[in-house]
Amino acid sequence: MPRTPELSSVHFKQKSQTFTFLQSRNINLRKKGRVAFFTSETHGSLKIVLDAPRCTESYLDIVSEDVASVLSLRLTRRLIACKRCKTSTFHSEKSEKSHKSTMAQIKLQNVQDFYEIGEILGSGHFGQVRELRERAGGTCWAGKFVKLRRSVSSRLGVERKSVEHEVEILQSLQHVNIMALRDVFESRAEIVLVVELIRGGELFDFIAEKENVTENEAIDFLKQILKGVGFMHSKQIAHFDLKPENIMLSDKNAEHPEIKIIDFGLAHRFDAGEDYKSLGGTPQYIAPEVINYEPLSVATDMWSVGVITYILLSGISPFQGDTDGETLRNIVDMKYDFDEHYFSQTSNMAKDFIEKLLVKNPKERMTAEECLLHPWIKPITNKQKANRSRSSINMKSFKKFNARRKWKMSYNMVWACNRLCRLHLLCKGDKEDEQLRSCESDQEDTETKPASLIRRRLSSSS
């Protein structure tokens, strides 16, 4: 590997670039404005000019690789920073020309300088969600502490680009029915998303607690869902994972609870003329074009709205099979009906609403705006309004569906936790084995009796 010249200079304009050197001692990396200086005892100095106002430690790292005996100086992403608030801005991996106005702000200070960290609200494979109290105004927020994946081969943690993607999406979706993003903080090991604190729980849980719910009440919630989805679609953003678990209430004790759409991990912003395909989503709620691996659009979300409405009114899932495979076949084959046993209390206009969403051709589905003008949502005549008032949700069936759904969620959570524990123990075991091997000697021990030496080797290999 060639020796790095004394005081050589590299101009860095790409989003990702790596410089590799022979490993040496007394390594130093310092930054001053747009310039970073890498110096080592062996190589002298390397001056790196960044095509950005400032470089931060999180994005300019020295990575030592002992096995290959090399040293990598890695610049992972272009940054733009504000000197006043020490806030960095990253761009997505999409074309900068397409999304110049869409940038996610990340504060490089400690989250505890701005918020008091409270109790744990939840946890998962990504990390923890904790209650935060703003030091300046006392407002409460939720802090999503996301553990970053340490390396490409690591099974634990979340990839940085996934978090960056979700942050970018949330920053461009400021709407009353979409979970708000307040702040983003970054450290070397994790990213903290400060988001709106949603205390009301899931919409389906709220409805399941009631004895009777009319179609009018259900429509009040659906309107809010449609307004949030419509706003997303106006920004050319599709959610791609609309389901009951991602439709929450800000405060269930409020007179008129507000819907909040959450979890934008699978969301995508469309470029003009883009053919985007994905197999992501939850089997019960995904559209036929997802299963068939065809180009997707914002209309894919409207299929999910149709499925959610069907379940909300009847308490059964339109395409649910005994297995995920059977469910997916039912979706592709459009196998669903309005069983009188479950839809006896449902108005014809509600069924018409669902039928115009569960359409195989995405171009023929109603848009969110068209849904808000549908006679079931916005009655044209007094007769339509009266029919809607007399109809109600099948509460007996709905309560059973929600109980099964919650049980399945609990089962999946326990399974995931057990899997993470096994992975942790496996990793721990590998480390112990490495330590054990490093301590053992392959040389003959002349002072040890042969029998004891054999026993020691057998015990270490078992």
DSSP string, 71-133: EEEEE-S--EEETTTTEEEE--SS-TTT-TT--EEEE-S-GGGTEEEEEEEEEETTEEEEEEE
Closest CA to 215 of 375, 403, 399, 400: 375
Q: Which of 205, 241, 352, 433 is catalytic?
A: 241
User: Which helix or strand (DSSP H or E) is residue 223 part of?
Assistant: helix 215-234
Are 401 and 311 spatial neighbours (Cβ–Cβ below 8 Å)? Answer: yes
Torsion of CA 245, 250, 254, 258, to 10 degrees: -80
Please state the separation of Cα 158 from the chain's center in Å. Answer: 9
CA angle 220, 225, 227 (to 5 degrees): 95
Q: Determine the Cα–Cα distance for residues 147 and 189; give it in Å rounded to an integer.
A: 6
Q: Determine the Cα–Cα distance for residues 443 and 10; give it in Å rounded to an integer.
A: 49
433 is a catalytic site residue: no
Are 249 and 198 spatial neighbours (Cβ–Cβ below 8 Å)? Answer: yes
Q: Determine the Cα–Cα distance for residues 353 and 161; give it in Å rounded to an integer.
A: 38
Q: Determine the Cα–Cα distance for residues 282 and 291; give it in Å rounded to an integer.
A: 11
148: buried, middle or exposed (CB in 10 Å: 19+, 13-18, 0-12)?
buried
Q: Determine the Cα–Cα distance for residues 460 and 454; give it in Å rounded to an integer.
A: 10
Closest CA to 22 of 2, 44, 6: 2
311: buried, middle or exposed (CB in 10 Å: 19+, 13-18, 0-12)?
buried
| Residue 210 is labelled as binding a ligand | no
C-alpha distance from residue 148 to each of 8, 111, 196, 345, 407 (Å): 33, 16, 22, 49, 30
Are 7 and 39 spatial neighbours (Cβ–Cβ below 8 Å)? Answer: no
Residues in the annotated binding site for ATP: 144
Residues annotated as part of the active site:
241
